[in-house]
Amino acid sequence: MAPLTTLGVGGNARFFAAAKNLRDVEEGVQFATNRMLPLFVLGGGSNVVVSDRGWAGLVLQVGVPGIEERQAEGKIFFDVGGGVDWDDFVAHCIARDCAGVECLSGIPGSVGGTPVQNVGAYGQEVAETIVSVLAFDIRDNGVRELKAAECSFSYRNSIFNSSDRGRYIILRVTYALTRGGRPSLRYADLKNYFAVHDAGPTLSQIRAAVRTIRAQKGMLITAGDADSRSAGSFFKNPVLSAAQHVELTRRAMERKFEVPSYPALSQRKKISAAWLVENSGFRKGYVKGRTGISSKHALAIVNLGGAMAAEVVALKDEIQERVERTWGLWLEPEPVFVGF
Ligand code: EPU
């Protein structure tokens, strides 16, 4: 499965099928049920770590195509197949002069994956634009439309990766965007970019800026950039309780460090995981066998070429343990672990 993922690790799938439509999905589910095989639903493979043993059941890659546009309630609604490449959809929206997802340019993976972890970057989250999700419900064996409110979106979280994990196969996502809407400029990196480059950016300028910033951080999949062979951020930014925040500040003062605070993070008492990693004795470009920490961003674990999943996990463990020892905080991984 390694070639089906951006991190490039993982053994074989016992069975594999690509589903292009609802019928394929139903057949796949039937196949797995009849043989009592575990089912794993794969999208763009940009947020998964697959074990070296692979998957002892059926891997169903959902590739439902198509982007349809309609007007409703003063907005532009896009019904988008789960298999559509996310960044192609963002480019499509911008070409149609529709605002709402421009800051999510350059994120790898497919549309169907975006509600699962409520994809977000540079001040936007898909939760702001998703209206509903059409999914095949494995439990009740039928198609169901879930309204955004039923998805319980929060930071990198939804019912799809928490309470109802494994229950739904996402077929289509509906987003509501604003034609002629103003681009979103909330995140410090983006504001700084335009402070230097331009005063009133257009949607396509935002898109170009986000892609440039992502590329500088190794977070844009680019041929020849070894730092982009990753699963993106490997850890979530921890959300701290008041007591944890006090303890962190105490430990930082002891070390004469200042804990960075950014509006986007401090709002929700979130602390930068990258900062914790870098201030626990790791540096960007740290190498451990065939894996390492990206030379451009401390939060990405990279495959330096031919790495095994076990090596990725060993580095993950080392980072978690050292951060815990130094800061008393346990970093929660952000990607999905498959077959462990
Ligand atoms: N920082 C460091 N070292 C680094 C990088 C960052 O100390 O190597 C500190 C700095 O203080 C920096 C702060 O972390 O100002 C924030 O860094 P950045 O803007 O790169 O964002 P992030 O919090 O590390 C999050 C998301 C990314 C998303 C960016 C931009 C998570 C886990 N990650 O990263 O999402 O692209 O913000 O919005 O929330 C992903 O989920 O895979 C992902 C790439």
Report strand pairing: 120-121 vs 124-125.
antiparallel
> What pLDDT is recorded for position 260?
79
* Options 233, 272, 280, 294, the catalytic residue: 233
- pLDDT interval class at 310 (50, 70, 90): very high
Q: What share of the chain is helix, strand, coil (3-state, %, to 5)?
A: 35, 25, 40
> What pLDDT is recorded for position 330?
96
Tokens of 257: 């460090």
Place of tokens 């950016």: 201
Tell how far the Cα of 307 is from the centroid of ligand 1, in angstroms: 24
**Which amino acid type is present at position 94?**
I
List phi, psi (to 5°) of 234. Answer: -90, -20
> What pLDDT is recorded for position 24?
98
Average model confidence (pLDDT) across the chain: 94
* Options 156, 207, 211, 214, the catalytic residue: 156
What is the atom index within ligand 1 of the atom nearest the CA of 334? 32
Q: Going by CA atoms, what residue is nearest to atom 29 of ligand 1?
A: 121
Q: Going by CA atoms, what residue is nearest to atom 7 of ligand 1?
A: 275
Q: Going by CA atoms, what residue is nearest to atom 9 of ligand 1?
A: 275
Lowest mean pLDDT among 66-80, 155-169, 262-276, 285-299: 262-276
> What pLDDT is recorded for position 200?
74
What is the atom index within ligand 1 of the atom nearest the CA of 214? 36
- pLDDT interval class at 164 (50, 70, 90): very high
Tell how far the Cα of 274 is from the centroid of ligand 1, in angstroms: 6
Instruction: Look at residue 261 and tell me whether its pLDDT is greater than 90.
Output: no
What is the atom index within ligand 1 of the atom nearest the CA of 47? 42
pLDDT tens for residues 241-253? Answer: 888 888 988 999 9
Instruction: Look at residue 295 and tell me whether its pLDDT is greater than 60.
Output: yes
Please give the distance of CA 190 from its chain centroid, rounded to a whole number: 19
CB 134 within 8 A of CB 145: yes
Rounded Cα–Cα distance for residues 123 and 302 (Å): 25
> What pLDDT is recorded for position 198?
60
Tell how far the Cα of 45 is from the centroid of ligand 1, in angstroms: 20
pLDDT tens for residues 187-236? Answer: 888 888 888 766 679 999 999 999 999 999 999 999 999 999 999 999 99
DSSP secondary structure of 253-264:
HHTT------HH
pTM: 0.94
Ligand 1 pocket, Cβ-based, cut-off 6 angstroms:
121-122, 187, 189, 217, 219, 232-233, 236-237, 260, 272, 274-275, 278, 284, 297-299, 334
Q: Going by CA atoms, what residue is nearest to atom 10 of ligand 1?
A: 275
Q: Is 332 a catalytic residue?
A: no
> What pLDDT is recorded for position 259?
82
Q: Is 233 a catalytic residue?
A: yes
Instruction: Look at residue 266 and tell me whether its pLDDT is greater than 60.
Output: no
- pLDDT interval class at 53 (50, 70, 90): very high
137-167 b/e (C-beta count within 10 Å ≥ 16 → b): ebeeeeeeebebeebbbeebbbbbbeebeee
Rounded Cα–Cα distance for residues 112 and 85 (Å): 9
**Which amino acid type is present at position 197?**
H
Q: What mean pLDDT do residues 54-69 have?
A: 97
> What pLDDT is recorded for position 264?
52
pLDDT tens for residues 3-42? Answer: 999 999 999 999 999 999 999 999 999 999 999 999 999 9
Site to substitute for ligand 1 among 49, 275, 294, most atoms within 8 A of C-beta: 275
* Options 27, 69, 247, 334, the catalytic residue: 334
- pLDDT interval class at 332 (50, 70, 90): very high
Rounded Cα–Cα distance for residues 169 and 328 (Å): 37
Q: Going by CA atoms, what residue is nearest to atom 26 of ligand 1?
A: 121
Q: What mean pLDDT do residues 39-59 have?
A: 97
Place of tokens 């080392």: 318
Instruction: Look at residue 135 and tell me whether its pLDDT is greater than 90.
Output: yes
> What pLDDT is recorded for position 100?
97
Rounded Cα–Cα distance for residues 170 and 164 (Å): 12
Q: Is 186 a catalytic residue?
A: no
> What pLDDT is recorded for position 278?
96
Site to substitute for ligand 1 among 5, 128, 233, 336, most atoms within 8 A of C-beta: 233
pLDDT tens for residues 69-102? Answer: 999 989 999 999 999 999 999 999 999 999 999 9
